[in-house]
Amino acid sequence: MRAARILLVCLVSFLAADLLVFHTRVYRSVVKPDSTAGLVESILSAEITRPVHDRNQVIMVGDSRMGFFPRVSDAMLPELGYTFRTIGVAGSSPRCWYYLLREVDPTKRRYAAVVVPVENYEDAETSEDYSLRIVDLNYLSGVLRWGDTWEFVTSYHDPQLRLQALRGLLLRGVVYKRDFDDFITAPGQRIYDVGYYGPNAANWRYAYNGEGDSLKDVHVDFKTGSVTGPPEIMAAHGVGLRVRYLDPAPRSEGRESEYLRHWLTKICDYYRDSGTRVIFIRLARGAFVRPDQPAMNPSSSVRELSKRPGVVLAPEHLFEDLERPDLFRDEVHFNGPGEQRFTVELAREVRELLGAPHAF
């Protein structure tokens, strides 16, 4: 009995410590700045604390392909009338975007529009099953709530991943374990890093000009199935280029459509009747365009959602003029000049879709 009492006390103490430290802002305030959780925390904090004087605001979600420069759109403010910001995070997924939007916009009244990127408008299958991305826990460890438990856990179809998701959601210390080990090894260095990077990270992101590399000397021959280019480019990106442009397209199994339908619908439902418009955009397909593009799917997730009031599909071919090797640094990412042009074209298109700003 004595051993059982000691075990019970230890268990309760462990759970209480996890609850007080990792389920509150206590540990979020000292998470490693250059970790996934730290980057998300920095991006969200910058947006939440940004002074907003009207509702003529546009927020964008997305991953690393959503290379948008707010400093460029700010310079266009007299033309646009809207302020553009992004909470896009490299490696994030639509599952993440829903929760990140909820975190920065709890009243659903902060923005005139939310811009959501998709690979295509057809729900075409991708090489990765995003529903299995357990790494989403690392992005969402600071924003998931107790009430999210059922939906978040059951969004993983694999039983082992469900268990892992449940454990990570209930015991956040499991998610932060590596970060916490690093913290207790050198707490002074961590406090310094947080104090140094925290106040400056938003300014660094704002001033970022993008990468200067380009694929202008790379050639993809779809007939022969070959990719050629400078040795340094091929060494760095040859495999990615072949996979992206020459490997057979994944066979349609419906999993991408199911996943997108769930999480994109969640975003649209969140903003239903709020006055915030949800704008879907099709990303540029890359430096080259495969000849075997997916067939039109009239019942795809975004086409069905666009039938709702307040949900808009931007023109599908909007960014086709940017699908050039000289505007890309690898198989899917714009370089600096590409991101600059993408910013200008997207900002002007959103202004066209929204119309003149309102006097809220």
**Residue 273 is part of a domain; what is its CATH number?**
3.40.50.1110
Share above pLDDT 70 across residues of the chain, in percent, rounded to a whole number: 92
Task: Give the contacts of 290 (CB within 8 A, at least 6 positions apart).
Answer: 222, 245, 249
Start-to-end CA span in the chain (Å): 66
Of the pLDDT bands very low, low, confident and very high (cuts 50, 70, 90), residue 21 is low
Q: What are the structure tokens assigned to 51, written together?
A: 């002074």
Distances (CA, A) of 58 to 77, 88, 278, 320: 12, 13, 10, 23
User: What's the pTM?
Assistant: 0.92
Q: How far apart are CA 152 and CA 150, in angstroms?
A: 6
Please state, rounded to an integer, the average pLDDT across all residues of the chain. Answer: 91
> Is residue 252 in some structural domain?
yes
Q: How far apart are CA 316 and CA 30, in angstroms?
A: 42
> Is residue 195 in some structural domain?
no
Which range (7-21, 100-114, 140-154, 234-248) has the least confidence?
7-21
Domain that includes residue 302, residue range: 55-138+212-354
> Is residue 17 in some structural domain?
no
Tokens 């430290």, residue located: 21
> Is residue 276 in some structural domain?
yes
Q: Which of 243, 255, 184, 221 is nearest to 30 (CA)?
A: 184
Q: Which residues pair with 115 in a beta bridge?
A: 60, 279
Total structural domains within the chain: 1
Are the C-beta atoms of 110 and 48 separated by less than 8 Å? no
Phi first, then psi: give them for residue 106, nearest 5 degrees: -65, -25
Q: Which of 165, 112, 156, 74 is nearest to 278 (CA)?
A: 112
Q: Which of 101, 37, 43 is nearest to 68 (CA)?
A: 43
> Is residue 263 in some structural domain?
yes
> Is residue 143 in some structural domain?
no
Tokens 């970060």, residue located: 179
- Span 255-260, average pLDDT: 95
What is the reported pLDDT for 210? 92
> Is residue 156 in some structural domain?
no
